[in-house]
Chain A
Amino acid sequence: MMTSDTPNPLRGEIFEEDVELSLADLCRLCRVPAERVFEFVEEGILTPVGGSPGRWRFRGISVQRVYCAVRLQRDLGVNMAGAALAVDLLEELERLQARLRRLEG
């Protein structure tokens, strides 16, 4: 049995549910410039709430979408529209695989 080095359990937050990110947070986490995020919003890969970039709030899942789009653009040479399509399809694929696991598992 392992004993903990910390007196109290660490409290985490569910990144996809509990976390809201500002434009600056998102840029820092994904290591992309704000201009890149503007392009992602323009293309519909990200849908922040809030009227202007200064008040934008992104859901935690946005980080995963940005990472994925950035990597697909860099590694496969797809353009922004192609990356947007791929990100949507990959999420759909994930939902279907979860359903398949439930039905077959």
Chain B
Amino acid sequence: MEFKDYYEIMGVGRDADQDEIKRAYRKLSRKFHPDVSKEADAESRFKDLGEAYEVLKDPEKRAAYDQLAARWRSGQDFRVPPDWNQGGFEFQGGGFTEADAGDFSEFFESLFGHGGLGAGARRRPRHEFHARGEDARAKIQIDLEDAYRGGKQTLSLKHREAGPDGRPRMKERVVDVSIPKGVSPGQHIRLAGMGGAGLGQGESGDLYLEVEFRPHRLYKVEGKDVYLTLPVAPWEAALGAELTVPTPSGLVDLRIPPNSQGGRKLRLAGRGIPARTPGDLYVVLQVVLPKADSEGAKRAYRAFAEAARFDPRAHMGI
């Protein structure tokens, strides 16, 4: 296993005092807390940090660790030295605090955990009093159309269940899941009883599928609202028009009001994601200018300039 440099993880020097270590922990734990941070590796960084703090904040563990840190560097292949358990350290003091010691690394475990020194006994089996199975989580990607019409997706699920000898083993299972109409990004589909198996007579846990939308060629989604950017010609925007417009639920005829500017948002109420309270569909106008690439087009632009007498920068006072 790899040697972990707890000082490096916490960004403090080897001579840092307890206050400094505490401050570093507070600061970094806010930065990498998985509920707060959006960084991809936040979860593992936070775990490492909790583990590093668990050791460095406790003078006994820290003193023991320092003896190793003098001999190993971060990432080096590490084996617990034979004399580790005979140094007279006893970790009965600090013990484990609020941190979930069950999540600590093999490295930590080999030094301070079960089978290592002292404190191991404090590691309690999980769910001693809970017979219900673990809830499981997974992510699925769906298309916007699935959210409008409902859909079906085939998933391969790995889960733990008790084998014939009573020991847990991994089993793979392929299931079809119907995607409920009206789901929006970030929401969860709950499949009752599809999580981990319960202990004894306990019921199985549930499976939660976090829904992500695949990027769509035409539409963008924000919550339950859907946005369509609609290119229009200048005369359509200026004079008004009746246009046939795609929506996720089919083509609609849309009236463009005269004197519309680019960026104007037209709301089609209730045509967003058909949730219990349906979202809206917004059509955002994008005025596209035809190129002045022929004599005729140039003439038309010049005539327009002559007729309109238009200064788009009048409000700038120049």
Contacts and interface: CB of A to CB of B under 8 A. Distances in A.
A3 B174 contact: yes
A30 B24 CA distance: 30
A31 B157 CA distance: 25
Given A2-B156, A68-B35, A71-B35, A9 B189 contact: no
A49 to B, nearest CB: 15
Given A5-B173, A105-B215, A12 B222 contact: no
Contacts of B204: none
Interface residues of B, number: 46
Contact of A15 (B177, B187, B194, B215): B187
Interface in B75-134: 98-99, 130, 132
A94 B191 CA distance: 25
Interface residues of A, number: 38
B189 A4 contact: no
Contacts of A18: 180, 276
Nearest to A12: B189
Given A2-B174, A10-B175, A15 B154 contact: no
Main secondary structure of the interface of A (DSSP, over half): helix
A66 to B, nearest CB: 12
A4 B30 contact: no
A14 B154 contact: no
Given A10-B194, A75-B50, A99 B187 contact: no
B35 A12 contact: no
Interface in B198-226: 208-209, 215, 220-223
Contacts of A99: 222
Contacts of B183: 14, 17
A72 B180 contact: no
